């Protein structure tokens, strides 16, 4: 087994020897699967805990040979993740096999009374439950007993499909000696080379932007004389028009234009002459300053008539 640390890239190796024996040499036709509520699969895989459980099963079964066949988490059987309160466990299924028939204690789960209690979600009455209760809480309603001696084995041809990998030949593990690898070249390729390319591009761009700029003199030298004359004339004309627009006189207000006298009908000349500076003159004047103004008689009191 080869493993490496993702943070430090430290590599380690451990040799695990697995001995696989044929099932015909050690037949275990009687198999029982227990569901333990107060255990997780990680806790059950410990050799001490699994040994205690096999010892408890051996006391109630009394077989000559007893082995654990399969250990499965309840989550893989459709169970739910437990709530994080009161140190609740996910549960684990443990299948054991023996070479002798099931004991009377294990057969009690098949009684009609216990089957009725299980259908009503009540715990069945099992005489040997006290031998497990001290360490293992077993759900006796979920125990399954399989007798392979009564089952007729039928050969079924394996149909290759999804989930079945094709035969890849003999497995060839890697060599026992691990060679150390130098990552200095990888560092240069990953960081140094892109940084050098970026620096070169920056220098080229700086040279183009700073050292290759065309000034006004060079631009005028490369421009035809007739184009420069036209450009100068346009600028001079634009400057003259701006100066003339600044010196324009302000238009006369409508109140100062010639009007007819309200009594004689004669045309009244403007209040100001053409040479009068109207920039400081108010738009409207008071009645005392207006010439040719007709005085409207004011109503007198009744006592004066």
Residue 47 is predicted with a pLDDT of 86
Q: Token pair of 272, please?
A: 């100001």
Give me the pLDDT at residue 10, please. Answer: 86
**Residues contacting 32, CB < 8 A, separation 6+:** 57, 61, 95, 96, 97, 98, 102, 106, 143, 144, 145, 146
- Domain borders along the chain are 30-149, 186-234
- pLDDT recorded at residue 293: 47
**15-24 per-position pLDDT tens digit:** 889 888 776 6
**pLDDT for the residue 305:** 42
**pLDDT at 288 (0 to 100):** 47
The pLDDT assigned to 99 comes to 86
Its pTM stands at: 0.47
pLDDT at 218: 72
β-strand partners of 12? 3
CA 16-19-20 angle, 5° bins: 130
Q: What is the pLDDT of residue 253?
A: 56
For tokens 């999804």, name the residue: 162
Residues of the chain falling short of pLDDT 50: 276, 278-279, 281-296, 300, 303-305
Q: For residues 203-241, b (16+ Cβ closer than 10 Å) or e, as one string?
A: eeeeeeeeeeeeeeeeeeeeeeeeeeeeeeeeeeeeeee
**Residue carrying structure tokens 């459980």:** 53
pLDDT score, position 148 = 82
pLDDT of residue 186: 85
Which residue reads 């430090």 in tokens?
8
């Amino acid at each position: 087994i080869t493993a490496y640390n993702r943070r430090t890239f430290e590599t380690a190796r451990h040799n695990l020897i697995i001995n696989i024996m044929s099932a015909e040499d050690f037949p275990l036709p009687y198999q029982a699967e227990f569901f333990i509520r107060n255990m997780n699969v990680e806790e059950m895989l410990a050799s001490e805990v699994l040994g205690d459980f096999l010892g408890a099963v051996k006391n109630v079964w009394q077989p000559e040979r007893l082995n654990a066949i399969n250990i499965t988490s309840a989550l893989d059987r459709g169970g739910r993740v437990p709530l994080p309160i009161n140190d609740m466990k996910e549960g684990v299924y443990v299948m054991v096999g023996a070479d002798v028939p099931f004991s009377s204690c294990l057969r009690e789960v098949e009684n009609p009374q216990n089957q009725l209690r299980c259908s009503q979600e009540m715990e069945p009455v099992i005489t040997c439950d006290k031998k497990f209760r001290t360490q293992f809480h077993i759900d006796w309603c979920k125990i399954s007993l399989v007798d392979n001696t009564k089952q007729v084995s039928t050969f079924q041809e394996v149909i290759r499909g999804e989930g079945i990998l094709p035969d890849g030949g003999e497995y060839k593990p890697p060599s026992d000696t691990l060679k150390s690898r130098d990552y200095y070249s990888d560092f240069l390729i990953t960081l140094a080379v892109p940084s050098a390319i970026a620096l070169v591009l920056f220098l080229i761009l700086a040279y183009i932007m700073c050292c290759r700029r065309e000034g006004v003199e060079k631009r005028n030298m490369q421009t035809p004389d007739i184009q420069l004359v036209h450009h100068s004339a346009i600028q001079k004309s634009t400057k003259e028009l701006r100066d003339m627009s600044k010196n324009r006189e302000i238009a006369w207000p409508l109140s100062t234009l010639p009007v007819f006298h309200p009594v004689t009908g004669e045309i009244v000349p403007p209040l100001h002459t053409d040479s009068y500076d109207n920039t400081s003159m108010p738009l409207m004047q008071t009645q005392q300053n207006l010439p040719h103004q007709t005085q409207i008689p004011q109503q007198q009191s009744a006592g004066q008539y």
